[in-house]
Structure 1
Amino acid sequence: PSLLAIAAGYHLAHYTGLAVSLSPALGMAIVSPLSPPANPLTLSPPGWFEGLSIAYVLVGHLLAIWAAHATAYELFSSRLVAIRSQYPFIVVMIGYTVISLWILSLPGATPPYLP
């Protein structure tokens, strides 16, 4: 369950802007699939989309930590043992979060269009 939250956060963070920017091109392809335009129209996402991507990653990671803690509390009989079992997971999650935020800070590339 915790990996599903991370995957959903990554998916939303990386593909929401792409889906919004390519939605006019998709509309043109649906309207005339056999005669695509030479230069399809694309939208430039607003600046706050970057903040939205960061929020998606952070919320996905927080949900993953919450799911892992809930699973640990159900799995172990002692609360202290459950907390201690989560130490490696917390270190890994901090690493995942730092790496994913670094990836989001890299400049993106626009997809090429082949006529």
Structure 2
Amino acid sequence: MGTLSNGRGTVSFENSHAPGLDWRKAGRTDLDPIVKDCVILAAAPDAKDHPHDRIPDGTRMVAISDDKDTDSPVLFMSRVEISKFFDGVLAGEFDHLRASEEELKAALELASTV
């Protein structure tokens, strides 16, 4: 059985497309099983027979999914790819995609009614 952690606590969690992984979500989100609200990442098994020729066997991989549904699709990226993406996030290249204060407030209000 896999787990889901936010740095403050850990709960059981199993994605049907990537069983047994230990997922991590941002510490600013809730672990309450009712309030599922985040992108989640996990260290995935090393690549083996990956369909893309730039992902050789043994490449360390990261799984990305959504915690709202244990049957959510899982995207597998190499650690190099995810590191380049994180660099872009840290550089502010995706700030235009962030939720507005109003959207964050509305999400918090919705979560408190569930």
TM-score, normalised to structure 1, is 0.24
Greater gyration radius? 1
Q: Which structure is higher in strand share?
A: 2
Higher relative contact order (CA 8 A, sep 6+): 1
TM-score, normalised to structure 2, is 0.24
